[in-house]
Amino acid sequence: MSKKKIYKFPKGFFWGAATSAYQIEGGINSDWCEWEKKNADRLAKEAKDNWSKEQQEKFPEMFKRNNYLCGEASGSYADMDADIECLKKLNANAYRFGLEWARIEPEQGKFDHKAIRHYREFCQKLKDNNIKPVVTLWHWTNPIWLQAAGGWESKAIRKAFLRYVDKMVFELGDLVEYWVTLNEPLMVIGHGYLDGKFPPNKKFSPSLFKVFNNFIYVHKKAYDLIHKKFPHAKVSIAMTTGFFEPAHKWNLIEVAIAKIAHYFRNDWFLKKVQKKIDYIGVNYYHHDRIVWYPPFKKNLNKIIDDRGWEYYPRGIYEVLIRYKKYNLPILILENGTADADDQLRPRYIREHLYYINKAISEGVDVRGYFHWSLLDNFEWAEGYWPKFGLFAVDHKTMERKARGSVEVYADIIKNNRIEIEE
Ligand code: BGC
């Protein structure tokens, strides 16, 4: 007979979900928005080559242009209370969400005070509901005017970004303790400047080093700036982490590739900003099983989600254990799965939490977990068809509907523990 075992989480653990501004707010005019309009037809056409037959049959919307246009997203800007209601249903005590720079500073140097008031009101409402705001300052989208100034490749970004940060910290700093300056900078470099999947669509471009240096520069300066105004603030970046495992432990080439991959994915950026972070922000989705021949990875894929990503909960434990050496608190800022039918998600949540709990019991200082995502949203170059939400969204009526996982996760949060069948 199977027995249930209980794993408790530390007192005061942050429980919540995560979103980003562009993916849920709607009505934003940013560089991504311009990019989609130019690329939607191409993306709809390419869906035939990029996805398995099963996925194509299950999500026929991937062949439609509209799927790739963000438009009104999940309507979160128009109705902030709807998202707060979802958070309350989850029993969340924290929420990671983003600010939209393109909305706040639609013209260079001119701030939109109505937009700023909106974010202030939202933070206040979260606080009134005992939900701690964790605010992302930049999650991939930029005001359109930044392109003319050279975007993230130019030195002009430094002054522009820090002026925006300065303004928002001044406006919200009394309500916000936890800040994320940049979301997954390496993802932007990989897709924007190596494989060309994201704007500005560059492939193997040497400009990536300029972008990399600018990311590091602005993060460090933003860290100082925030601390100067609010010495007790907690500031970090969200790292795109991964667990790389050699397919054969005896194969020294595979072992070496896995080591190199670990360094570049998990440590490279972090080491550069190590002295200017108060916690490590971990986004974990991926495991890669490394082989010595191209394309150097061959996952077993016994269970995959709608995006074709392998279900591999132990990977989060491996990442956390490796991060122990930094001796810093950790927040899991993203972890989730594209699962329209909600078949996998309940187990996904429980088992990832089991491995997080295991890392905690081995001395890793994990302080919170934010599931990606609170709501179905706009999944960048994939558009709307992948469903990451705990709450499903009808993008016409903007109605939110709890998937089965909500009950599972709300119960875990309420009791600050998981129960696992053994
Ligand atoms: C990003 C999110 C994205 C998620 C799922 C993360 O890398 O930060 O914006 O939706 O992955 O693809």
Collapsing DSSP to helix, strand or coil, 175 comes out as: coil
- The pLDDT of residue 200 is 93
Instruction: Say yes or no to pLDDT of 379 above 70.
Output: yes
Nearest ligand 1 atom to alpha carbon 382: 12
Q: How confident is the model at residue 358 (pLDDT cuts 50, 70, 90)?
A: very high
Span 206-234, average pLDDT: 98
Give the least confident one: 49-53, 76-80, 248-252, 255-259.
49-53
Cβ burial 196-230 (10 Å sphere, 16+ → b, else e) = eebbbebeebebbebbbebbbbbbbbbbebbbeeb
Ligand 1 pocket: which of 74, 140, 380 to mutate (most atoms within 8 A of CB): 380
Residue 409 CA to residue 395 CA, distance in Å, equals: 24
Residue 406 CA to residue 388 CA, distance in Å, equals: 12
Q: What is the Å distance from ligand 1's center to 335 Cα?
A: 9
Q: How confident is the model at residue 395 (pLDDT cuts 50, 70, 90)?
A: very high
Q: What is the Å distance from ligand 1's center to 185 Cα?
A: 12
Tell how far CA 390 is from the center of its chain.
15
Span 268-294, average pLDDT: 97
Q: How confident is the model at residue 46 (pLDDT cuts 50, 70, 90)?
A: very high
Ligand 1 pocket: which of 334, 335, 339, 375 to mutate (most atoms within 8 A of CB): 334
Instruction: Tell me 192's DSSP state.
Output: I
Q: What is the Å distance from ligand 1's center to 37 Cα?
A: 21
Question: Who's near 419: CB < 8 A, 6+ residues apart?
Answer: 4, 5, 6, 7
Q: What is the pLDDT of residues 77-97, one digit of tens each?
A: 999 999 999 999 999 999 999
Instruction: Say yes or no to pLDDT of 148 above 90.
Output: no
Span 114-132, average pLDDT: 98
Span 140-144, average pLDDT: 97
Instruction: Say yes or no to pLDDT of 414 above 90.
Output: yes
- The pLDDT of residue 422 is 83
Q: Specify the DSSP element, H or E, that contains 134.
A: strand 132-138
Collapsing DSSP to helix, strand or coil, 372 comes out as: strand
Q: What is the pLDDT of residues 197-209, one digit of tens each?
A: 999 999 999 999 9
Q: Specify the DSSP element, H or E, that contains 353.
A: helix 345-361
Nearest ligand 1 atom to alpha carbon 140: 9
Nearest ligand 1 atom to alpha carbon 183: 8
Residue 181 CA to residue 187 CA, distance in Å, equals: 15
Q: How confident is the model at residue 118 (pLDDT cuts 50, 70, 90)?
A: very high
Please, what sign has the CA dihedral across residues 127, 118, 69, 237?
Answer: negative
pTM of the model: 0.98
CA dihedral (248, 253, 256, 257) in degrees, to 10, reads -90
Nearest ligand 1 atom to alpha carbon 338: 5
Nearest ligand 1 atom to alpha carbon 373: 10
- The pLDDT of residue 1 is 64
Ligand 1 pocket: which of 372, 373, 377, 378 to mutate (most atoms within 8 A of CB): 372
User: Would the CB of 184 count as within 6 Å of ligand 1?
Assistant: yes
Instruction: Say yes or no to pLDDT of 2 above 80.
Output: no
Place of tokens 């603030």: 233
User: Would the CB of 183 count as within 6 Å of ligand 1?
Assistant: yes
Closest among 382, 369, 368, 312 to 340, alpha carbons compared: 382
DSSP secondary structure string, 48-117? HHHS-HHHHHH-GGGGSGGGG--TTTT-TTT-HHHHHHHHHHHT-SEEEEE--HHHH-SBTTB--HHHHH
| % of the chain with per-residue pLDDT over 90 | 98
Do you find a cis peptide bond into 295, omega within 30 degrees of 0? yes
Do you find a cis peptide bond into 133, omega within 30 degrees of 0? no
Average pLDDT, the chain: 97
Max Cα distance, the chain (Å):
66
User: Checking phi first, is residue 79 left (phi over 0); if not, alpha (psi -120 to 50) or beta?
Assistant: beta
User: Would the CB of 283 count as within 6 Å of ligand 1?
Assistant: yes
Instruction: Tell me 325's DSSP state.
Output: G
Query: Cα 368–373–376 angle (5° rounding)?
Result: 165
Question: Who's near 62: CB < 8 A, 6+ residues apart?
Answer: 44, 47, 51, 55, 56, 382, 383, 385
User: Would the CB of 20 count as within 6 Å of ligand 1?
Assistant: yes
Instruction: Tell me 32's DSSP state.
Output: H
Q: What is the Å distance from ligand 1's center to 267 Cα?
A: 19
- The pLDDT of residue 337 is 98
- The pLDDT of residue 286 is 87
Q: What is the Å distance from ligand 1's center to 100 Cα?
A: 16
Contact 319, 355 (CB under 8 A): no
DSSP secondary structure string, 244-306? EEESSTT-HHHHHHHHHHHIIIIIHHHHHHGGG-SSEEEEEEEEEEE-SSTT-B----SSB-T
- The pLDDT of residue 3 is 87
Span 61-88, average pLDDT: 98
Which amino acid appears at position 399 of this protein?
E
User: Would the CB of 334 count as within 6 Å of ligand 1?
Assistant: yes
Contact 43, 383 (CB under 8 A): yes
Contact 339, 395 (CB under 8 A): no
Instruction: Tell me 310's DSSP state.
Output: B
